[in-house]
Structures are given as structure tokens and as C-alpha cells.
Amino acid sequence: MHEAVNLADVARLAKVSPATASRALSDHPHVAAATRARVWEAARALEYVASPDASGLARGTTGRIAVVVPHLARWWFGAALEGLSAVLREAGRDLLLYRLGDAEARRAFFAELPARRRADAVVLLGFGVDDAERARLERIGVGIVSAGTRIGRHPSVSIDEHVAGRQAVDHLLHLGHRRIGMIVTTDPELDPGQPEGRAAAYRAALADAGVAHDPALTVTVPWSPEGGARAMGQLLGLSDPPTAVYAHTDEVALGAVGTLRRAGLKVPGDVSVIGIDDHPLAALTDLSTVAQPAAEQGAAAGRMALAALAGEPVDPVVTLPTRLVIRGSTAPPARAERGVS
């Protein structure tokens, strides 16, 4: 626990002024090579680590990026955060994590703007904000970027929800399914636009295939694997149950598969199931899905934030591709009921 060593100590040991030491350590031009070497050597010897607070104060920046997330224990968020943290680490920026747990934490965050003066930029991961919240956020006075959702006109990365939904539903249609159920999951904390896009894709795909839309086949439940299980139960209770089910996320799809198994039904023999995400357990449980690059979205958001800080131009909207991954949970319906396309 030896006492903190300052720039002054380094300067003294290197026999230069603090100013020169500072210049040498921050690789400024106009520093004699020999001097620079002497200073670095002194710094190394003393295990000197500059105080970012002090240099930030003097320079007017913090060296930190604030990252705001609504969840941490869900796959997408963890993966996105991994991508983001790797990019920030590479750039030598610190990551300040703000988790908006319940409604109260969320209200407090936007009311108290804790990120103010603490970060050079704010990255929002996977959740939308209302106009009032956006206004508050903008008062923090730093750049804003987001991944997985759009925040006003600020730069953002995400997938095309509509395309992802079409990839999933079109796959089921191609297999010959005509009676396709959809499990919509809502999460008050999340981006309201996400379920919308994925649900609209379902309706559009059915319409394009000439399949009549049956509202009974759409079940909405709050986000959670248990929700998926319950929703599947409801679909099975229908007088004419679906031969295939499209869930908005893999975790929910896995819940549905669980219910089917317990009901003694075969997947995909009796019912096909597809999700969206390509959660690590999807590969394991042989779940067909639409893969989305979560870590890449986080990384791209990080790069955009860094670019904005560097004054470089930033794409306002980056869309990353999704990919249909066909595994063993989807197959043609047992008795092919080909529609009159």
C-alpha cells in the first residue's frame, strides 16, 4: 500500500520539471529523445500511474464512457457489453456501468443524470427511451449512441428487426407450414419498437404467402422463458393449434419447447419452433433461429462513440445482418397442408 506517487515524483527522479515529465509521458512532440527516455524510465521505476481525474480536470475530459443497460443477466446484454468493453479497453477508455433495474432506478437515473461530468459519451444498450428521458439525457451534454434501438437522431447500431422476423417466418412458410403461432414478448424496460418490428414481419410474411391472419395464434407474454412456456400452453389449448411457432427470442422459444416436451409432443415432428438470437444454448438444444450479432453491435456502438469523440464523421444508422440458422427444431408439417398460394 505504498504511498501514491505523483508526476512530481517522477519529474524529480528524472530531473526535469513536471511540465516536461507530463509532455514526455503523453508523447508530445518537442521533447528530446533522451529526456523522454529518462522520464519513462523514472515512471516505470516508481510504478507511476497518472491520475485520470487530475489530468481530466486539467484537460476537460474524463476518459470514461458511460454505458447504460436495463439488464445484465440476459444473453444479448452480456454479449453486447463484452463487445463494447473490448473496444473501449483497446482505446484506453474506462467503462462506467449504469444499470437501470426497476422503474425507480430508471427514474432516478434520468432525474439525477449521474453520468453528467463523469463520462465523455453515453452508450445506451438495448432499450428505448421516451421523449422526456431523451431530453434529460441530452442535457448531460455529451455524445449519445445506442445499440439495439434508436434514440432520436443519435447514431445507432442494430439489426433490421423486420428482416429478422421475415427470415424466421418465411422459413416456416417455406417448410409448408400454414398455421403458424407467434409468441410476442413485451418488456416494459425495453425498446417498444423491437416487438413491433418482429410482429409486423410475421403479419407481412403471412400476407405475402396468402395465409389468412388468425389473431388467436398470437400470444403476448412478458419477457421470460417461463412466459414462453405459458404462451405455448395457451397455443396448445386452441381447437386448431399451430403446426409451427415463431418466438421473438430464443429464450422464450426454449420455454415453448419445454412445454411441448412436457405435453409429450415431438419437436419438430408435431410442432416446429423457431426463435431469434442464436443464444449459445440454441446450438445445444438444436433450436432453429435467426442469428444476430450481439457482441458486434456492442463493439460497433463503442467504435461510433469513439469516432464521435475524435470528431470523425459517424454513420447515423448502422444495420448489422442477421442470418437464418436452420437446426433440428423445424421441419415440414406432418400432414403437409399446402396453401393456395
Partner DNA sequence: CTGAAAGCGCTAACAT
Partner DNA sequence: ATGTTAGCGCTTTCAG
Cβ 224 to a copy of itself shortest distance, Å:
8
Q: Which of a copy of itself, DNA, none sits in contact with 273, Cβ below 5 to 8 A by type? A: none
In 3D space, the residue among 270, 249, 267, 248 whose CA is nearest the CA of residue 257 turns out to be: 267
DSSP code for 27: T
Main-chain dihedrals φ then ψ at residue 78, nearest 5 degrees: -60, -45
Q: Is 272 helix (H, G, I), strand (E, B) or coil?
A: strand
Q: Which of DNA, a copy of itself, none sits in contact with 19, Cβ below 5 to 8 A by type? A: DNA
Cβ 15 to DNA shortest distance, Å:
7
Cβ 99 to a copy of itself shortest distance, Å:
4
Nearest-angstrom CA–CA distance, 216 and 8: 73
Instruction: Verify binding: residue 31, DNA, rule CB under 7 A.
Output: yes
Show contacts with DNA in window 44-103 (CB under 7 A).
Answer: 48, 50-51, 54-55, 57-60
Nearest-angstrom CA–CA distance, 26 and 36: 10
Burial 287-298, CB ≥16 within 10 A → b, else e: bbbbbbbbbbbb
Cβ 58 to DNA shortest distance, Å:
3
Of 43 and 260, CB closest to DNA: 43
Nearest-angstrom CA–CA distance, 323 and 330: 16
Cβ 287 to a copy of itself shortest distance, Å:
10
The answer to whether the CB of 25 falls within 8 A of the CB of 50 is: yes
Give contact residues for a copy of itself (rule: CB under 8 A): 1-2, 4, 47, 49-54, 56-57, 62, 64, 67, 71-75, 77-79, 81-82, 85-86, 89, 94-99, 101, 105, 112-114, 116-118, 138-139, 141, 224-226, 228-229, 251, 254-255, 258, 262, 280-281, 283-286, 295
